[in-house]
């Protein structure tokens, strides 16, 4: 019923409501005008750019729609509120750019997709990674805590 030896975390995660509680899960989403719930990602993975918050799932979905991209990850470089949004894309097997020209073509195509979405218009940096780091327990959940520093190093 509570976090082990973490009373502050318990206090933040439980919202009293009459005789019961709401439990904060750390996810971000919204209800649309028809009452549908839309999942936007983990709160801890939100990128806080100068233009406002950017959420992983809706941003990545745009870039994941490219036929050469297996999956992608939105990461933020820099201090919160002024983070530079970066998409790190993992191409499909056999689709990693084979030359600088191919890399620039693929990057240009992805940036074009991004410009088409209101919430991805501010993304101007695309990096390519052979295999995004994933949590060993799930083998799908992208390990953004490792990917952010990797992206920052690539951009120096």
What are the tokens at 37?
């719930």
Average pLDDT over every residue of 42-69: 97
107 alpha-carbon distance from chain centroid: 18
Report whether CATH 3.30.300.30 matches the domain 46-154.
Answer: yes
* CB contact at 8 A, 43 and 53: no
Per-domain boundaries in the chain: 1-43, 46-154
Order of strands, sheet of 69-77, starting from the edge strand that comes earlier in the sequence: 69-77, 84-91, 125-128
Tens-place pLDDT, residues 61-86? 999 999 999 999 999 999 999 999 99
Rounded to two decimals, the pTM is 0.88
């Amino acid at each position: 019923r509570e976090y082990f030896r973490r009373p502050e975390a318990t206090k933040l995660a439980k919202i009293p409501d009459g005789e019961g509680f709401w439990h904060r899960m750390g996810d971000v989403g919204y209800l649309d005008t028809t009452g549908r719930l839309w999942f936007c990602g983990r709160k801890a993975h939100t990128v806080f750019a100068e233009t406002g918050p950017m959420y992983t799932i809706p941003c990545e979905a745009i870039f994941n729609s490219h036929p050469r991209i297996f999956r992608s990850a939105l990461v933020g470089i820099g201090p919160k509120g002024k983070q530079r949004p970066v998409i790190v894309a993992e191409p499909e097997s056999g689709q990693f750019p084979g030359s600088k020209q191919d890399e620039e073509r693929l990057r240009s195509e992805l940036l074009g997709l991004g410009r088409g979405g209101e919430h991805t218009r501010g993304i101007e940096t695309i990096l390519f990674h052979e295999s995004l780091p994933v949590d060993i327990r799930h083998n799908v959940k992208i390990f953004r805590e490792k990917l952010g520093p990797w992206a920052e190093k690539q951009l120096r």
